[in-house]
Amino acid sequence: MSRTSSRIPEKWKQEEKAAKAVQVAFDVGFEVQTVIRKEALDCMLSPSDRVRQILGLDVTSRPKRPRLSISLTQADFLVLGGLYGVDPANRVEIKQRAAENLIKYVDEQKGAC
C-alpha cells in the first residue's frame, strides 16, 4: 500500500522538512564561541538561534524556558541522595533539592567562578 502526500498529516510534513536540515558545526575559536554564547544568554536565545540571527537567517524558535540541564548517572544519584539525606531512587526529590542548592549558590556567590 503506497502513501500519497495528501494522506500524510500536516504535522508530519513539517517534521519531514525539519529532518532534511543539516547540522553544521563552526570551528571559530574559543573567544568567538564565548561572545556568541553570552549574547545568546543575554537575548534569552539558544546559541544556535543567535548564530542564525547573526547570519541573517530566520529564527522560528519560541522563547526558551530558562533551565539548566545535566546528565546524571546512577552513581550521581547515589552521591546526591547521600548528600541530601534522600533515597537515591527518589529522583524527583533529588532534583528539587539540587535546584534549591543551585539557587542558594547563586544567592551566595553571585556567579563567582
- For the stretch 33-45, pLDDT in tens is 999 999 998 988 8
What count of other Cβ atoms lies within 10 Å of the Cβ of residue 36? Answer: 19
- What pLDDT does residue 6 have? 62
Please tell me the pTM assigned to this model. 0.57
Average pLDDT, stretch 25-50?
A: 92
Question: From CA 59, how far away is CA 44, in angstroms rounded?
Answer: 13
Q: pLDDT tens, 63-76?
A: 666 678 899 999 99
Match 556568541 to its residue by C-alpha cell: 36
Question: From CA 7, how far away is CA 11, in angstroms rounded?
Answer: 12
